Amino acid sequence: MNEPLSIRYEYDEIGDVLDIYFAENRRAWTVELTENIMMSIDRQTEQAVSLTLMDFSELVCPTPVGPASFPLTGLDTLPADERDLVVKVLTTPPVSDLLDVSSVLSPSAPPLSIMHIERRPVEESGLLARCLP
């Protein structure tokens, strides 16, 4: 049995895009989670292959009250079985080590799924975001 690959980060400074690879390059289904975050999943193994974070510096910059959160708009149009698979992968390591998923509850509206990027694993990788003051 092969040992699991370590997480690999590739940052494009000009485009401000961070690609995070959890597995070797292989056929995968890519889901747009938000306008700036995509996740590729191997449907057979039900595991994440990669994450792509566009406008990375904006995504990881904190707001005055904490980390910026983003609605998981990409889940809205998925059939239930695909949505369940995406949620399973999002809430399982290694993805859950990088993305924190939660719901906003309101008595007058259905739950809203949101997420934010965990800064610690990204900082530990040696990548530093350039946050605007």
Spell out the domain ranges in the chain. Answer: 8-124
pLDDT digits (tens, 9 = 90+) for 4-57: 558 888 989 899 999 999 988 788 999 999 999 999 999 999 999 999 999 988
pLDDT digits (tens, 9 = 90+) for 72-114: 999 889 999 999 999 999 999 999 988 988 888 888 888 888 8
* pLDDT confidence of residue 121: 59
Please indicate, yes or no, whether the overall pTM of this predicted structure exceeds 0.75. yes
* pLDDT confidence of residue 119: 67
Q: What is the mean pLDDT of residues 52-79?
A: 87
1 confidence band (pLDDT: 50, 70, 90): very low
* Spatial contact of 97 and 124, defined as CB atoms under 8 Å apart: no
Q: What is the mean pLDDT of residues 54-68?
A: 85
* pLDDT confidence of residue 118: 78
| DSSP states of the chain | -PPPPPPEEEEETTTTEEEEESS-S---EEEE-SSSEEEEEETTTTEEEEEEEETHHHHHSPBTTBS--EE-GGGTTS-HHHHHHHHHHHTSTTHHHHEEEEEEEETTEEEEEEEEE-HHHHHHTT-------
* Spatial contact of 19 and 50, defined as CB atoms under 8 Å apart: yes
**pLDDT(127) > 80:** no
Query: How far apart, in Å, are the Cα atoms of 16 and each of 10, 35, 57, 58, 78?
Result: 11, 14, 7, 9, 28
Task: State how beta strands 17-21 and 8-12 pair.
Answer: antiparallel
Instruction: Locate 47 and state its tokens.
Output: 């595991």
